A = this chain, B = another copy of it.
Amino acid sequence: MKIAICGAGTVGRGVTEILKGNQALIAARTGGSIEIVVVASRSAPKDEVFEGLAYTADILSVCARKEIDVVVELMGGTTDAKTLIETALGAGKSVVTANKALIAEYGDALFALAAEHNVQLLYEAAVAGSIPIIKVIKESLAGNRISWLAGIINGTANFILTEMASTGPTRTFDAVLQEAQALGYAEADPTFDIEGIDAAHKLTILSALAFDQPLRLDQVQVEGISSLDPADFKFARELGYKIKHLGVARCQDGHLEMAVHPCFVPKSAILSQIDGVKNAVVVCGDAAGEILCAGAGAGAGPTGSAVVSDLIDLARGSAVASRSKARDGVMASLPVRPAAEVASGYYLRIKVEDQPGVMSAITSILARRTISLDKILQEDIAPNRSFIALVTDPIQHGVIMDAITELQSMASVIAPVQSIRVFR
């Protein structure tokens, strides 16, 4: 099988290293070689792994070359990469990509184009790096009706949350973000990672696949992690939780829910143990139960390994189409549950002036809305100042927001009320 590698950045280097370094092994396991015919990128690649390989700056030209079977798109972005993929599929070449933004935004049209030309568009590397979660959902759980999935799918955010949760001197979000940037775990402009946009791309892809739905990026509720305070991590620890930035998708009573947000995860749940830049996804099927996959969510080797697994599927002729006519015909597009009606437990942190009756006033505001409490604790933070931290049983988002508005209007509540969802 002959391939073109388009994009010579981190992932392009990783893929090339694997295909060169493990060439004999891959040929033996696959029953045929995977040959890099050309590396295409805007500027000539400098890394020595590319030495000895043909190079072109004319990226689109690879689509016109008859001998190339597969185009590997590792450029990123949603403009040139989209043109490349469309041109390659149109020319009857299968495509392997690691581009989550492109798949989340334009995947459905691209899958249809691939089906039309009887070729494949594969994207294992687009979600959670080394973790084979696309294959697990598409193939291993294909006999299951999936009810929900949840994942830590952004390593930068998880690194920051892990650092903020570590005991020792208290550090603010901004301080830890700067550290992450210094270590190369966060970009100079970290918005995509810390505001949940990158995670929303990945969640969109996972839920479309798990629930046989069209990709609906604009229907994902997104909250980032920049509003988290060291006090929240302290209370999480005391209440038996860790704070994780989760992508959560659910299919219940014929409605879809898709959200990315910080979450209190019980310490007994394995997701709470996934620390640092690691990623993990749990998928719950009606027959299999909960399956967890965890591993490195990014990097040349891990993401490269996922790209190579797609290439090997193509070389073996064992790739499963990303979209099939039969599926299109049977699966109805489900309504998305309005955000206000999505139920969850909530942690609230309320800064109050200590006065007789404060606790009673707060609990009665919650009780009037039939919000029941699972845990509550009060801690003095200064003379005449306390935090009240509480965890509720599951309640609709609209109801808790309404309660927060009333709490906020109390004279003795002297700072914005913090609210964080609780995982299951």
By a beta-carbon cutoff of 8 Å, the part of chain A in contact with chain B is 14, 17-19, 21-22, 24-32, 124, 130-132, 135-136, 139-145, 212, 270, 273-274, 280, 285-296, 299, 301-302, 304-306, 308-309, 311-313, 316, 318-320, 324-327, 329-331
Number of copies: 2
Interchain CA distance A295-B280 in the complex, whole Å: 13
| A287–B313 touching, CB < 8 Å | no
Neighbouring B residues of A286 by C-beta, 8 Å: 21-22, 301
21 contacts between A and B (CB under 8 A): A18-B287, A21-B286, A22-B144, A29-B142, A124-B140, A132-B291, A135-B139, A139-B318, A142-B309, A143-B308, A143-B312, A270-B270, A270-B273, A270-B294, A285-B305, A287-B305, A288-B295, A288-B302, A288-B305, A288-B306, A289-B295
Partner of A130, one of B21, B30, B288, B326: B288
B residues near A17, Cβ cutoff 8 Å = 287
Q: Cα distance A139–B139 when bound, in Å?
A: 11
B130, A291: Cβ atoms closer than 8 Å = yes
- B143 near A18: Cβ-Cβ < 8 Å: yes
CB pair B309 A143 closer than 8 Å: yes
Residue of B nearest to A300 (CB): B287
Contact, CB under 8 Å: A327 / B291: no
B139 and A28 within 8 A (CB):
no
A28→B326 contact, CB < 8 A? yes
Contacts of A21 in B (CB 8 A): 286
Question: Which of A19, A140, A329 is packed against the most chain B CB atoms within 10 Å?
Answer: A140
- Inter-chain contact A292/B294, CB cutoff 8 Å: yes
Cβ distance A44 to chain B, nearest Cβ, rounded Å: 25
Query: Which B residues lie within 8 Å of A19 (CB)?
Result: 143
Distance (Å) between the CB of A161 and the closest chain B CB? 17
Given the known inter-chain contacts A135-B135, A139-B135, please indicate yes or no for A330 contacting B28, CB distance below 8 A: yes
